[in-house]
Amino acid sequence: MRSTPHILVVNGTKVRRPVFILGAPHSGAELLARAVKRSPGFHLTTGRHGVLRVTYAFARQPSIATEREKGAARVLRDACAEAWLVSARACAQCPDECRELAGLPPRRPDRAEHAGPPAAGPAEPCVEPSGIVRFADASPDLIYSADVLLDAFPDAQLVQLIRDGRDAVADMLADERCLAWFKPGLANLDTVFPNPFFGVEDHTERSRWPRAALAVKCALRWRGSVRLSARLRQQVPEEQLFTVRYEELVAKPRRVGTALSEYLDAPISRTALSGLVRAGEVRAEAGAGVGSWRERLTPRQLAQVEKIAGTELRRLGYRLGSDL
């Protein structure tokens, strides 16, 4: 049973029906996030240090959230409220990824990436506080905290992205930040099992993990996240969960934009979404578009991914090589 609504005021505006964009790694969530962030009335954040710290704690050790119950919801709600503040000090903590979604240049292009928040300094706000009507967040791996999000914000609207797992794995294999989670010092399978974050659900997968290929580990993460998405679909009311296919988003952005606007009961920037068609074509030319796994995955990697995630790929309507 969900908690009763909590009155939260940020920048003088009551937080009503906040929007959270979820998906597996490299599912394309950032494309929708960009459109929402550039739509009038929305204040969307992503990658704020406070939110990441809390969500990764819950993702990597789910028992923290289940044992603390209302306490976990309060912590996550406070982290989001802090992230949504608009002020010189608050905006100075905004990562470059968040500023890029708004079309703003990074504060310091030569800044090396690090785990902590950016150093404080002058920052141009990405939104005018007086114009904010709705709040949103699209931080990575929110999918693992979906239950806590709904406890923290019972009226939240979730938007989840689904993408061909083979394309997602191909992108994950090229992303050092994704691969960093697989380092021995970060894998916590000895203390958390089953492990939703790494997608490890049985003892065979657990025993094979240390010597598993990177493609296998990426496929397990994708499989685990889409299984969470499937459970969300069964448990969350239709008016609180909207699913977007990445392939449809790239091919028919205006149609997706119209449907998303109806779901959120708010106008979403069609200009930003229609631009995704051209962006999709550019990504395809660069080898990272729809179906690019055919060129980017080796035959061995493809076999590994389809062995691990074949059932989920078929359930989602993606055809495997053996189906042709």
Question: CATH says 9-317 is which class?
Answer: alpha beta
Q: What is the pTM of this model?
A: 0.90
Average pLDDT, the chain: 87
Q: Give the start-to-end residue ranges of the domains of the chain.
A: 9-317
Cβ neighbour number for residue 11 with a 10 Å cutoff:
18
Instruction: Evaluate whether 59 touches 192 at the Cβ level (below 8 Å).
Output: no
Does the pLDDT of residue 292 top 70, yes or no?
A: yes
Answer yes or no: are the C-beta atoms of 244 and 32 closer than 8 Å. Answer: yes
Report the alpha-carbon distance of residue 185 to residue 205 in Å, rounded: 18
Confidence tier at 111 by pLDDT (50, 70, 90)? very low
The pLDDT tens digits of the residues spanning 59-74 come to: 999 999 887 768 999 9
Q: What pLDDT, on the 0 to 100 scale, is given for residue 149?
A: 95
pLDDT given at position 51: 96
Residue environment code for 86-95, b if the CB has 16+ CB neighbours within 10 A, otherwise e:
beeebbebbb
Residues 199-210 pLDDT 10s: 999 999 999 999
Q: What is the pLDDT of residues 21-74, one digit of tens each?
A: 999 999 999 889 989 998 999 999 999 999 999 999 999 999 998 877 689 999
Name the amino acid, one letter, at 277: V
Tokens 């009551």, located at residue: 14
Q: Is 107 a residue whose pLDDT tops 70?
A: no
Is residue 290 scored above 70 in pLDDT?
yes
pLDDT in tens, 146-194: 999 999 999 999 999 999 999 999 999 999 999 999 998 899 999 999 9
